[in-house]
Structures are given as structure tokens and as C-alpha cells.
Structure 1
Amino acid sequence: MAKSSVLVTGASGFIGNHLVDRLLADDAVVTALVRPESSLPERWRGRVDTIQCDDWSEQGLRRTLASFACDTVFHLAAYGVRPTHRDVDSMIRINTELPATLVRLCQLWNARLVMSGTFSEYMKPASNELLMELSPLEAHKLYGSSKAAGGLIASAVATALGVGLRSLRLFKVYGAGEASHRLLPALVHGLKQRQRVPISSGTQILDFVYIDDVIEALLRADDHIRDHGTVATWNVATGQGHSVSHFAQLVADTMNAGHDLLGFGEIAMRKDDEPWLVGDPGLMQSQLGWHPGIDLETGVAASVAAITGRAG
């Protein structure tokens, strides 16, 4: 049986790192589409092909990928994840226009497309209700609205061209390998040194999803396209809300650190923070049979162990 050939955008990021590791473990042939300045892990040397491209317009990608083809594209690249990344032109080019370009390339290659969306695509709910795929979408914040627009346009183009596509709106993904500015690594770094960690008030209720469950969802979505085709958008969520303060306390407990080291309220809430963002996983569960397998306590313990190098 021929090995699966896969192209990954965003391979240098948190989720991309985990996805590529899993694809290699599954014996796939992996190519990473990267910018020239991107840095990939040394452990992939000789195992992952790379294609560098500094022009991610449709013309630039078609020129760069003129002799390339694959079975599946996993599109994880995005702009705006870091709070300082707020250039409007980059946001539109990467989040809104690029997905449709990849759909057209998939038609050329007879390939499937699995793309990562985000819970930020949803508008703040009127009450503490689970966000469903048909819930109102963000129309005022740059990152969320650009991601929502990209998913909608890509889905429409894929439907018109007959390309199989799954757009997965990922909720609060956590695990080892997150960027240092994010909550989990900041907590682990500070608490390991027994230093006080300044964080927000922690009242936000979020749907935390462990990275291994997210990777399983991405891979199973690809299998679903292979077997069924069509276009779909699914939440990757647990349906369970937990406060940021509870998450921080779990990390502290796992590290045997006192809660007095958690500086709640010492960092102001970000403008795009919402008090409640919890997803309804029902559609993905019914159509794909995917269920999150790792509860929050287990996921936090595994993440801390991986970050600190502890066994087990």
C-alpha cells in the first residue's frame, strides 16, 4: 500500500509540530511548506521535505509548487495568533485569501484539504450557551473575522470545485510546545522557579482541548474526506467549560506549588478576551465519531511532565 503524501502549512507552530510528529509515526511522506525564515526541529532532518516560499499569493504558490502534488493538505498556518500580529493586510492575505488558494491547488492535485479554524471565529454569545457551528460569527475583531471569512470562502470554493474539505474550529488547545507567551508555559516556567506568575483575573470560561485529541481529530477528518468527500465545518471541543483560574490552579497543584504564587489580576484582560467560549462538539461526534479522550486533569499532568522533562 502506497504511503500517504501530505503537505503541511504551519509546521513550525505548536499544533504543526505535534501533527508532523504523528504523521511521521504513521509513516506518511511529509512536506512542510514554510517561509524562508522558519525554523523546523532538528529531529525532522532527513525525514521531512521542505519547500520554501516567500510569496504566498496564488501566483507565488503555483510557481513554487509547480512540480508538486500530494494526497492531503493540512493547513495550519495563520496570522494573528500572537497579540502583536495585527497588520490588516497580512491578516487578510493569510487568513482570508490563502485557504481558497489551497482549495484550488487541491483540485489540481486531486487532494483533500483539512484546515484549522478557531473558536475566535464566533461572536460573543448572548448567554452561557454552547457555541454551535451555526452560531453567529465574529464581525468586529480582526483575527476572528478574518479566520471566519477564510473558512467560509474556502468552503464555498471547495463546494463549487468538488474538493473535499474539513474546516475544524479548534477551541482552547493546550499542551507541551506552546509558544512561551501563552498561559501554560508561562505558568510552568514561573512555578518551576517558585516565582509569582502574573496572570489575568482568570474568570474567563474556556473549552480546553488537549493537543493529542486535536491531532486525532485532524487525522480522522482527513479519513472522513477520503471516505465521504463533501465539505463540512466542525467544532473540536469538549463541551465542558473551565475557568482560566481553575486551569492555573491545576498546573500549580500538579507542580506542588502554592496557589499564592498565582498572581490573579496582575495582568489586564486583553480586549479580545470573552467571558464564556465553550463549544458544542455534537456535530463532530455524530458525523465523525470523535470524542475527546483526555480530561483536563490528565492533560495538564501530561503537559507539565513533558515540559519539565519528568517521566510518566
Structure 2
Amino acid sequence: MPTLNVLVTGASGFIGAHLVARLLSEGRRVTVLARSSSALPPEWDDRISVIACDDFTERGLRRLLHAPFDTVFHLAAYGVRPNHRDIDEMIRINVELPATLVRLCTEWRARMIMAGTFSEYRSPSTQEPLTEDSPLEQGKLYGSSKAAGGLMASAIAKSNGTDFRLLRLFKVYGAGEAPHRLLPALVSGLTKRERVAISAGTQILDFVYIDDVIEAMLRADSHCRDKGGIATWNVSTGRAHSVRDFAERVAAAMGADASLLGFGAINMRRDDEPWLVGSPDLLRSELGWQPSVGLDEGVRAAVAVLCRAQSAE
């Protein structure tokens, strides 16, 4: 079987880094499209091709991207961090960039796997798992821009006959998350036996372990290659857990005193939703994917890696 050429955007992020590592382990030829300021893992040196890009317009991308690719994994996004609220940048990266990449895929005869997010869904009125047909967000910048980008990319792919999969990822967790996120913040504070200031933790979310997410992406690529067409799938477990429950499981995995969890010490973010849980039924039936790592197992695995990293510092 010939070596497959893949292009990955967002490789410097949490999910992107795990994806690139898995692709390399499977012998893929990986090219990363990243900002010139992006920090990539040193262990990738001489193992990947890097295209530095600070102009994500169609003209800028056409100037830099020449070699054809079999698959484009598009993970880059803007607005994940609470302080990233530049509307023009959000439109450029979340709406215009995926549309451009799909058009390039058409010319290359490549397929595209795009990472969406549970933030694309509007807050549900009932506690029924969200399906791929649930109403989309219209009032929040990040969720609305991601929803618009996914819809546009999907529509262009359908119009052009380009094979395309949109994966709406729910609450992905694991080692390698940015320091400001819940899991690494908990581990950092609890390791020092410090009180960790967090929200009341009443938000109910669908936590998906990173390895299961990467497996879903690779299976989606294989399905896209074999079946063609377009599809949108939730990558979720269908299981509801509160942020408080998650934090308590982290403390238990570390053998830390749960009284160090400062629930209610900080306010909820304005874009926090009370209940967002996804239905994995469509992905299970069409792709044969289902989460293989339970929450306790995933938390223990992630905590072990994070604690080792802290000990090495």
C-alpha cells in the first residue's frame, strides 16, 4: 500500500498533536500547516514537513500549498480561549479557511476531515442527547462561527463532489491540554496540595478521551476513502457527567484531598452551558465507532502522564 500524504492544520493544539503522533506511528507522510509562531514538539524534527503560514487567505494558501495530499485533517480554530474574541479573525479562521481548504481538496482530489465542536449546538430545552440534526448555535460567537464554517465546508464539498466528514467533538480531555483548561489546572494545583479555584461545577458535559477521538478521526478518513460523499457525526459518549464529578474523579486518581477543590470560587463563564451531551448513535451505526475508554480509566491515564511531566520539571 502506498504511503498516504496528509496535511494537518492545528497541529500545535492538544488534539492536533495527538493526531500527528498517531499518523506518524502509522507511517503516514505528514505535512503540518502552522503559524510561524507555533511551537511544535521537538520529537517531530525530521519526521514531518512544516509549512509556516501567517496568511490564511486563499491567495496565501495557494502560494504555499503545492504538493497534492490524499487527506486534509482540518483542526485549526480560533476562539477556544476565552480571550480570543476578535470577530474578524474568527470569521477568517472558522468560516473562510475551511471553505478554502475544501476547494483546494477538490483540485487535489483529496478528502477532508474537519474537526467541529459541541459548541456548535444551541443549548437544548430538554435533557435529551443532541443529535446531528439538533438546532445549531446562533447567538454565541465561537459556536456560531464554527457552525457556519462546518455548514459552508459541507455545502461546498457537496457541490464540488469532494469527499468530506465533519466530526463534532464533545468535551475532549487528556494529557497535553493547554494549562488553562480544567484537567491540567486541577493536576497542577492538587500536586502542590493547593486549593484549586473552579466554578460550581454544575455544568453537565459529555467527556470523551483523546485516544477515542483520534481513533474516530482515522476511521472517518478510512470511511471517507471507501464510501465517499459527505457526512456529519458527533464524537461523543452519550454519558452525562458534571464538571464537579470530573474534578472529584481527578482528585481521587491523584489521592488528593477533595476539600482542595474550591467549587464556586470563580464564576461560570458567559458561554458555559448547563447541559450538553451528544448522541453517538449515528457514528456507531455508520462507522462502527464507540468509546473504548471510560471516564475513570481516561482520567487515571491522563493524570499519570501529567504527574510524570510535573515531576520531570
**TM-based fold match above 0.5:** yes
- Corresponding residue of 1:21: 21
- Corresponding residue of 1:53: 53
Deviations 1:121-175 (A, max 9, x none): 0000001111010000000000000000000000000001010000000000000
| Structure 1 consecutive aligned stretches of length 4 or more whose deviation exceeds 3 Å | none
Asked if 1:34 corresponds to 2:56, the answer is: no
User: How many residue pairs end up in the alignment?
Assistant: 310
- Corresponding residue of 2:63: 63
State the alpha-carbon separation in 1 of the partners of residues 266 and 74 from structure 2: 33
Kindly provide the amino acid, as one letter, of the partner of residue 184 in structure 2: P
State the alpha-carbon separation in 2 of the partners of residues 169 and 53 from structure 1: 26
Asked if 1:7 corresponds to 2:1, the answer is: no
State the alpha-carbon separation in 2 of the partners of residues 68 and 140 from structure 1: 39
Q: CA deviation at 1:39?
A: 1.1
Kindly provide the amino acid, as one letter, of the partner of residue 41 in structure 1: P
More deviation in 53-62 or 170-179?
53-62
State the alpha-carbon separation in 1 of the partners of residues 64 and 252 from structure 2: 49
Q: CA deviation at 1:64?
A: 1.2
Kindly provide the amino acid, as one letter, of the partner of residue 199 in structure 2: S
Partner SS, residue 23 of structure 2: helix
Partner SS, residue 166 of structure 1: strand
Q: CA deviation at 1:8?
A: 0.2
Deviations 1:252-305 (A, max 9, x none): 000000110000000100000011000000010001010000000000000001
- Corresponding residue of 2:292: 293
- Corresponding residue of 2:44: 44
Deviations 1:194-213 (A, max 9, x none): 00000000000000000000
For 1:245-264, list aligned pairs within 5 A: 245-264=244-263
TM value normalised by structure 2? 0.98
Asked if 1:233 corresponds to 2:246, the answer is: no
State the alpha-carbon separation in 1 of the partners of residues 253 and 60 from structure 2: 48
Deviations 1:44-78 (A, max 9, x none): 0000110111110111101111x221100000000
Kindly provide the amino acid, as one letter, of the partner of residue 128 in structure 1: Q
State the alpha-carbon separation in 1 of the partners of residues 68 and 41 from structure 2: 24
- Corresponding residue of 2:182: 183
State the alpha-carbon separation in 2 of the partners of residues 54 and 305 from structure 1: 36
Q: CA deviation at 1:81?
A: 0.4
State the alpha-carbon separation in 1 of the partners of residues 3 and 67 from structure 2: 16
State the alpha-carbon separation in 2 of the partners of residues 33 and 223 from structure 1: 22
State the alpha-carbon separation in 2 of the partners of residues 96 and 53 from structure 1: 17
Partner SS, residue 265 of structure 2: coil
Kindly provide the amino acid, as one letter, of the partner of residue 307 in structure 2: T
- Corresponding residue of 2:104: 105
- Corresponding residue of 1:195: 194
Root-mean-square deviation (Å):
1.0
Q: CA deviation at 1:2?
A: 1.0
State the alpha-carbon separation in 2 of the partners of residues 158 and 51 from structure 1: 24
Partner SS, residue 225 of structure 1: helix
Asked if 1:77 corresponds to 2:67, the answer is: no
State the alpha-carbon separation in 2 of the partners of residues 33 and 124 from structure 1: 33
Q: CA deviation at 1:92?
A: 0.6
Partner SS, residue 117 of structure 1: strand
For 1:112-191, list aligned pairs within 5 A: 112-191=111-190
Partner SS, residue 237 of structure 2: coil
TM value normalised by structure 1? 0.98
Q: CA deviation at 1:309?
A: 1.6
Kindly provide the amino acid, as one letter, of the partner of residue 201 in structure 1: A
Kindly provide the amino acid, as one letter, of the partner of residue 255 in structure 2: N
State the alpha-carbon separation in 2 of the partners of residues 171 and 53 from structure 1: 28
State the alpha-carbon separation in 2 of the partners of residues 69 and 7 from structure 1: 9
State the alpha-carbon separation in 1 of the partners of residues 269 and 126 from structure 2: 20
